[in-house]
Homo-oligomer: A and B are copies of this chain.
């Protein structure tokens, strides 16, 4: 477990304390006071953080969330629940699900070494608001 570089640490801290996924340019805006001025500085740190599994990209939202699951440090098996009303995102940590997907083989004979799953629906809060 390598240490993070300065930019990586700044950006990880921001994402980690955020209650919601952050977008790259929102991150940029927030870290400008700490000396990170250019998009590329943000994207490079994000790439690295994703690579080492400290954060994940929510592909359908182009946003980044800290890993909430100490076990997936390789970032190769990710699952999220996304509320389509309030946009709350939670990382799913369910061993039955991860076992099922990690072991999944399709008829095409392809063996997968990585997956990303995004579930969409309404969170509890948003369901109760509607009733």
Kindly report how many copies of this chain are found in the complex they form together.
2
What are the residues of chain B within 8 A of A29 when measuring CB–CB?
none
A94-B107 in contact given A60-B59, A81-B112, A112-B81 (Cβ < 8 Å): yes
A97 at the interface (CB under 8 A from B): yes
Residue from the list B94, B114, B120 in contact with A121, Cβ < 8 A:
B114
Q: Could you tell me if B117 and A117 are in contact, using CB atoms closer than 8 angstroms?
A: yes
Q: Could you tell me if B121 and A118 are in contact, using CB atoms closer than 8 angstroms?
A: no
What are the residues of chain B within 8 A of A123 when measuring CB–CB?
108, 110
What are the residues of chain B within 8 A of A83 when measuring CB–CB?
110
- Chain A residues packing against B (C-beta within 8 Å): 59-60, 81, 83-84, 90, 92, 94, 97, 100-101, 104, 106-124
